[in-house]
Chain A
Amino acid sequence: MIGGRARRRLLEAGQVVAILAFIAIMLVPILWIALAAFKRHVDVYQLKLVFTPTFENFARVFAEPYDLGTKLFNSTIVATVTVLIAIPIATAAAYAFSRFRLRGQTLLLVVILATQFVPAVVIVLPFFLMFRDLGLLDTLTGLVIVNLAIVMPFAVWMIKGFIDGIPVDTEEAALVDGSSRLQVIRNIVLPMAAPGLVTAGIFCFIIAWNEFLFALILTSREAVTLPIGLALFKAEEGDLWNLMAAAGIIIMVPMFVLALLIRRHFVQGMTMGAVR
């Protein structure tokens, strides 16, 4: 028999091991990429931690023929514009869903989400044909439209959750105090939902930033984004892992910086629903 205390110790130790294993599974690939980005091509497959670091990979990915700079620019524009359009519209929709009783509300909410149940591969071809006819192939505008379609359902649902968490009393107090509905939204709802809006914004940015399939099919030269740029490194001379890793770092770093900058909002937003 194991005593109660010993058993608890054992359990705790087990937990720690499990957590460490989980973290390792998550982080080792990233670490591998981070190291590979600074290795020469010949060193990539050697698992040694000591090597002569080089910045040559970063220089090469920005040069022709890879030209990652343009792709970085494209990705930034697409993701940023998507967020700038998606969040205000989603907020308006979420507010309506949260505060007004609409006919067929539940159905509508499910339908919005249901657009995401359709596998992207299934609808990418219709999108291609439609965009070809509309002249939107290989344009940033086209990519923004596609990304909006992808992120809006998530944004609406997420923001609705945050607005649901704002007590109706507070809004009614503002109405009685002399505000119009729009003033209530501007003065009360938006400031109170701000952490949530930021969270939703980051979420949408990440989705748009990493979007691969649509960008792959719908762009060819002008509007190619970073994730597609990555695929260029699967060349005839084999997989250029060192270049791919350098490009991977360039894709990841903005995410890290973004997350660090708005960490406070992010945590606040993530816990907002929970601590009521």
Chain B
Amino acid sequence: MASVSLRGVTKAWGAVKGVDDQSLEIADREFLVLLGPSGCGKTTTMRMIAGLEEPSAGDILIGERRVNDDLPKDRDIAMVFQNYGLYPHMTVRGNIAYPLKVRGTPTADIAPRVDAAAAQVELTALLDRKPKELSGGQRQRVALARAIVRTPKVFLMDEPLSNLDAKLRVSMRAELKNLSHRLQVTTVYVTHDQIEAMTLADRVAVMSEGRIVQLGSPERIYNDPETLFVASFIGSPAMNLVAGRIVDGVFSTTEGPLLTLPPSAPVRAHDQVVLGVRPEDIGVVAPGDGDIDATVFAVENTGDSVLTTIRLGAETLVARSDRYLKTVIDERIGLRCSPDHLYLFDGPGGKRLR
């Protein structure tokens, strides 16, 4: 077990910077999720920690030891790959045993440890099969068992759930959470799925264009986004974002005044601003009772809630209400925005206005 530190780490391919002067301290036993859209540098960051990619600049430390020049095998890590990276010519047992075997573990010790690791992920019955005889979820378990058969300093997981179907993903997510709780090993987890990030992480690092744009607890990332990018990336359905201007505490779009900001609003006047409000922070009320009156554009019942979409000129707003809401298309409704949950971002830069 160990902490992981990145200090000014850069990865460049010619003029293209995959990871740009990144620093990050991951505490011992922490579960850190690197979250971002594809191409944001999250996988490259992880691969540099693994030693599969060489940083162009900066230092990587595992524990107190600088590992830049260490081969992957000397870093005492275990990694779970998106495509599992199983050895197709070996049985499940052979796959799980491989890290022990190749590191020269005495033969007598291997079998019990393989059995124990397989039991942890409920693979005991499948030990003599080949990977091609397994389902996607079972392959994933083999990859996990292979990672936990040793007790490495750090677990690295590169989108381990993204090849599973939706239902399996949810159940594997819970298993991962349970496993990481039991093992207490420092874990770096890469995903583009914000739900995985929210559910698994102690801390989430949201990445964009090779940099971490916000680092914090899942709650913090969700409730207190620092930039427009983070606000728009986290949450499903995404946060409603409306561009406009603020004059005398009134937010207007090109269509006209929309909303009177509460006294707690950080600015009273701003020329280019983006107003953000999460769908669950918009209540659907009778016309005239809310901040805005509008016509229903679409109603979607997702089972556990109802999404009401309205159009305001070019902008679209979505409100999430409980599942008993009954509205129909073209109905006039009122929308009430929760004043404590309005976010304002500086238009051009996307920085949160506080």
| A residues neighboring B (CB under 8 Å) | 167, 169-170, 172-180, 183, 187-188, 191-192
Contact of A178 among B73, B84, B85 (CB under 8 A): B73
Cβ contact within 8 Å between B71 and A191: no
B78 at the interface (CB under 8 A from A): yes
B182 at the interface (CB under 8 A from A): no
CA distance A179 to B78 in the complex (A): 12
Cβ contact within 8 Å between B84 and A180: no
**In the complex, how many angstroms separate the beta carbon of B134 from the nearest chain A beta carbon?**
15
Q: Given A169-B81, A169-B82, A180-B71, are A174 and B87 also a contact pair (CB < 8 Å)?
A: yes
Interfacial residues of chain B within 51-91, with CB under 8 A of chain A in the complex: 51-52, 71-73, 77-79, 81-89
CA distance A192 to B78 in the complex (A): 22
Q: Given A191-B89, A192-B88, are A176 and B50 also a contact pair (CB < 8 Å)?
A: yes
Q: Given A169-B81, A183-B102, A187-B102, are A176 and B52 also a contact pair (CB < 8 Å)?
A: yes
Cβ contact within 8 Å between A172 and B52: yes
CA distance A188 to B98 in the complex (A): 11
Interfacial residues of chain B within 88-129, with CB under 8 A of chain A in the complex: 88-89, 98-99, 102-103
Cβ contact within 8 Å between B89 and A178: no
CA distance A191 to B89 in the complex (A): 7
CA distance A176 to B72 in the complex (A): 5
A-B contact pairs, 21 of them (CB 8 A): A169-B81, A169-B85, A170-B87, A172-B81, A173-B79, A173-B87, A173-B143, A174-B102, A175-B51, A175-B72, A176-B50, A176-B72, A176-B156, A177-B73, A177-B146, A179-B73, A180-B73, A183-B102, A187-B98, A187-B102, A192-B88
Cβ contact within 8 Å between A175 and B82: no
**In the complex, how many angstroms separate the beta carbon of B192 from the nearest chain A beta carbon?**
18
Cβ contact within 8 Å between A173 and B89: no
The SS class assigned to the A binding surface is helix
Contact of A176 among B78, B83, B84 (CB under 8 A): B78
**In the complex, how many angstroms separate the beta carbon of B299 from the nearest chain A beta carbon?**
44
**In the complex, how many angstroms separate the beta carbon of B220 from the nearest chain A beta carbon?**
31
Which single residue of chain A is at the shortest CB-CB distance from B152? A176
**In the complex, how many angstroms separate the beta carbon of B298 from the nearest chain A beta carbon?**
42
Beyond the given A169-B82, A176-B156, could you list 20 further A-B residue pairs with CB under 8 A, ordered by the A residue number? Answer: A167-B85, A169-B83, A170-B85, A172-B52, A172-B81, A173-B79, A173-B81, A173-B143, A173-B146, A174-B102, A175-B51, A176-B78, A177-B73, A177-B99, A177-B102, A178-B73, A179-B73, A183-B102, A187-B87, A191-B89
CA distance A170 to B103 in the complex (A): 17
CA distance A174 to B78 in the complex (A): 10
CA distance A172 to B87 in the complex (A): 11
Contact of B98 among A167, A169, A177, A192 (CB under 8 A): A177
**Which chain B positions have C-beta within 8 A of A175?**
51-52, 71-73
CA distance A114 to B315 in the complex (A): 61
Which single residue of chain A is at the shortest CB-CB distance from B85? A173
**In the complex, how many angstroms separate the beta carbon of B14 from the nearest chain A beta carbon?**
12
**Which chain B positions have C-beta within 8 A of A192?**
87-89
Cβ contact within 8 Å between A174 and B98: yes
